[in-house]
Amino acid sequence: MLIFLDTEFTDFINCDLISIGMVSEDGRHEFYAERSDYVSDWQSDFVRVAVVPLLGGHAGRSFGRQELGEQLRAWFSSLPRSVQIACDSVHDRDLLWDAFDQDLPVNLSRSIFDLRPLIDTTVYHKAVCCYHDQPAQPWHHSLHDARAHRAGWLAWQDDRRQKRLKG
């Protein structure tokens, strides 16, 4: 099963996790958390303007680094015996791995499904934009971006299936 992942973080150089969002391929499992102890001095101007204002909207989902790792472990233990991360950035993967202190759950594949090749496809891009066009589903919120990745992937899968049936 694919798990669509997105993260928000302080900066590409001084990279510290701010929030993490994940949604399963079937849409039945979601995880969202914010870090309460990220290094705010490392925030880029973009993060201050586009990411930080979106934080705090999920009561009880703010954790320190260690507790976040525990929450992630508990969530992954509730998932099927084999899951694979789908993301569009190596930074997302690295930040998730770091949240586990590199000691990944046994059901989590070490390889990722790279969404980057899909981003430039019309069908994927259009589905992601349609998701974010809905009210209260902003860009640069890790859970909404993970959901948008899923929407794009589902649209891409449907398009591939239709082409195979026609061809």
Average pLDDT of the chain to the nearest whole number: 96
- Compute the distance between CA of residue 153 and CA of residue 84 in angstroms, rounded to an integer: 14
pLDDT digits (tens, 9 = 90+) for 80-139: 999 999 999 999 999 999 999 989 999 999 999 999 999 889 999 999 999 999 989 999
- Compute the distance between CA of residue 104 and CA of residue 99 in angstroms, rounded to an integer: 9
- Three-state DSSP at 86 gives strand
CATH number at residue 53: 3.30.420.10
Range of the domain at 57: 2-166
pTM given for the model? 0.96
**How many domains would you assign to the chain?**
1
Q: Using 50, 70 and 90 to split pLDDT, how confident is the model at 157?
A: very high
